[in-house]
A and B are shown apart, each in its own frame.
Chain A
Amino acid sequence: MTGEPVRNTPNRRDVLRMTGLAGLGLGLAACGRGFGGGDDEPAGGAVQLNMVWWGDAKRAEKTQAALDIFQRKHEGITVKIEYQDSGPYKDKLATRFAAGDPPDVMAMRMDSLREYADRGTLLDLGQHSGAVDLSGLSESARTLAAVGDKTYGVPAGLNAIGFVVNRTLTEKYGVSIPDGDTWSWADLASFARQVTQASGRKVYGTNFEAFTLANFIVFTRQHGEDFYTADGALGVSESTVVEWFEMVEAMRAEGGFPPAGFIEKVGASAEQSYLAKGSIASQIIPTNNFLAYNAAAGGNLALLRIPGETQAVRRGQSVDCPHLWSVAAATKHRDEALALLDFLANDVEASKATGTTRGVPANTSVAQEIKPSLEKDDQVATEYLAGLQKEKLPRSYTYPPGSSKIASSLESIAAEVEFKRQTPQQAAKTFLDTGRKALGK
């Protein structure tokens, strides 16, 4: 500093000006992100399909292997893939449609299907049955993408939810695993309690996500109710919601379930799961992830059905799919896109290349044919699915528009109950009120 009295504190107008400029800067920074997609069509009459989906690098590798076969079989068609995590995928897909630049072929979430289909943005495959052969699919697989008399996609694979139990831990603590086909929710509770006790609270017996809609839907179906009815309303009763939360909280109180706040959102992958860390002994997973979870948890997982199936009013489990393959109604390459769909659904080579990363092939004969070439863990999951498909399971209806709001409200309300900020009764009421408002009925 010089000794001279330099007057340099800013005056009022400077502050105003700086505030304004900085504010603009913020505004501009917010717009700084670009969107993907964009036309870089190859020259010379060749067709480039844009195909988007979510998943990891491993799934990308398997998908690319299948696409390589497709490109060999179809000269002049190239497929450009884009993939990312499921959360951002959902947002990006919506943005691409909004921008008028939808992908030709896309992975469609079951709970977003009708958001898109009801607004006429997806191609009705029923109109093009000559191009995509759906005759090899089982009835339950075909109806997954059916909205009214239209079909808006092909299941990318079939899966269900299953209960996995870490046998290494149960053997270590000398707890026997109940029969996985006939166990009840009470059996699960007592099993979980025993594991926690025997391990001295080092391992908690179970932690199935009470806030995940798919899990709760099985419980609802076991009570003879459809979570979503055929006309897209909420069919679940308040008492069933109460019972679900009370059951989980009872397990938490007696120690079978970890204490509130124990499970932190650290990431969605199998490697990051508490099952892989060995701090819980069992949980519910989608069956197509069985291989990944088994690898992450030490290779000794048993795959059980969801508890309560034999005691319930009716079966709760259902055959679902991780996602559909759908075609944008606005695609410029309809025939090529349909050819790709047909290839993915019905070509044995395609399914051999992808394995069961998106579940068991929806085409039953393809599923049988590729089974011997699968890894052992994938065979376990395939048999699990085949078992379910042979049985008579009540049909489930597509998620109506507004159901993403319901899924997120279940998540937030489950936390309210977990931390005792709401009783199961209050929570059930809030959940149903929010749900009805979201569906508008």
Chain B
Amino acid sequence: MTTTTRVTLPAGASAPPAPPPRRVKPRKDRAGYLFLLPWFIGMLFTVIPFFASLYLAFTDYNLLNAPQWIGLGNFREMLDDPLLRQSLKVTFIYTFVSVPLSLVVALGVAMLLNRGVRGLPIYRAVFYLPSLLGGSVAVVLLWRYIFGLDGVVNAFLGWFGIDGPAWTSDPDYALTTLIVLHIWTFGSPMVIFLAGLRQIPAMYYEAAAVDGASKWHQFRSITLPLLSPIIFFNLIQSLISSFQTFTQGFVLSSGTGGPADSTMFYNLYLYQQGFSQFNMGYASAMAWMLLVIIAAFTALNFLAAKYWVFYDN
């Protein structure tokens, strides 16, 4: 991460001293490009499908016959597609509930760990683990058992005399279950928060304490402003990835987006259109629509950032 490499620089080091003049200037950039080569090759696999899907978005393409140009036909159809609206609703609820909550949890845990806990690397690893696994098939399956009708959660609720619902098969609760799963995977923003917290100089807090500022006040006036770029980064990252959620809905519902389309994420619907219903043109149009949506929210965030993100340089 950029933050950790920069910590090794000596304080106040601006530009490195200019190298002594030489007669032959070595081509330093050649090695750089050599190291970048795998990335350029990988880019081909992104760039070609990228433009292909842009073209397909304006066609009627059933995977089996050559695509037929239909102009804006797919986009017009999207206006009148109830399932598309449902998938947008599911994705938006999921994103706007789970992203803020998981960031709050991540920041909270990061602050707890930052208070000089012994065995920090172990805790950090333990909390980070779920975010490595959270998107995996095995964990969603496990989650299905934990939240099953006779699962751990309902057994726990049973101790308090609460008759728990069918968390994964009831359309009113299935999405909630996935939101909880998302919040549980707070590890990767947490690790970034933790790195950010450690960059805040202790002397600010010392000075504030001398002036008699409460812990809450210190948090509001020192931690939050100095951490705001990190919060901003995490926010953007989480938003982008959560708009693209697929696995959780796919595994929980065995690919159907059920029960009653309650876990029909935008990407899951896109996948169904493309691969189950042979509407690859429509699926491509949906993919571009998602790109526009994500870009719009990211742009909005960058605009809003002017008012709350504090860059101390």
A contacts, CB < 8 Å to B: 1, 3-12, 14-15, 17-19, 22-24, 26-28, 30-31, 87, 90-91, 94-95, 97-98, 115-116, 119-121, 260-266, 268, 401-402, 404-405, 408, 411-413, 415-416, 418-419, 421
Contact = CB atoms under 8 A, between A and B. Distances in A.
Nearest to B237: A22
A8 B46 contact: no
Interface stretch (B26-34, B101-109, B179-187, B256-264): B256-264
Interface stretch (B15-23, B58-66, B126-134, B209-217): B58-66
20 contacts: A3-B203, A6-B11, A19-B237, A27-B46, A28-B46, A30-B244, A31-B49, A91-B276, A98-B280, A120-B65, A262-B166, A264-B168, A404-B276, A411-B256, A416-B260, A419-B170, A419-B171, A419-B259, A421-B171, A421-B260
Contacts of B148: 264, 266
Contacts of A31: 45-46, 49
Interface in B214-243: 226-227, 229-230, 232-233, 236-237, 240-241
Given A261-B165, A408-B276, A19 B236 contact: yes
B169 interface: yes
Contacts of A263: 169
B119 interface: no
A4 B204 CA distance: 11
Contacts of A262: 149, 166, 169
B253 interface: yes
B2 to A, nearest CB: 5
B260 A119 contact: no
Contact of A18 (B233, B240, B255): B233
Contact of B7 (A8, A17, A28, A90): A8
Interface of B: 2-3, 6-7, 11, 42, 45-46, 49, 62-65, 144, 148-149, 165-166, 168-172, 196, 198-203, 226-227, 229-230, 232-233, 236-237, 240-241, 244, 253-261, 272, 275-278, 280, 298, 309, 311-313
B11 A5 contact: yes
A3 B205 CA distance: 12
Q: Enumerate the 9 nearest inter-chain pairs by beta-carbon distance, A residue then B residue, closest first.
A: A261-B166, A415-B260, A98-B63, A91-B275, A415-B259, A119-B64, A8-B199, A261-B170, A5-B201
Interface SS, A side: helix
A95 B171 CA distance: 31
Contacts of A121: 64
Contact of B229 (A11, A22, A260, A401): A11
Nearest to A211: B258
A412 B201 contact: no
A421 B240 CA distance: 32
A274 to B, nearest CB: 11
A87 B253 CA distance: 12
Contacts of B170: 260-261, 419
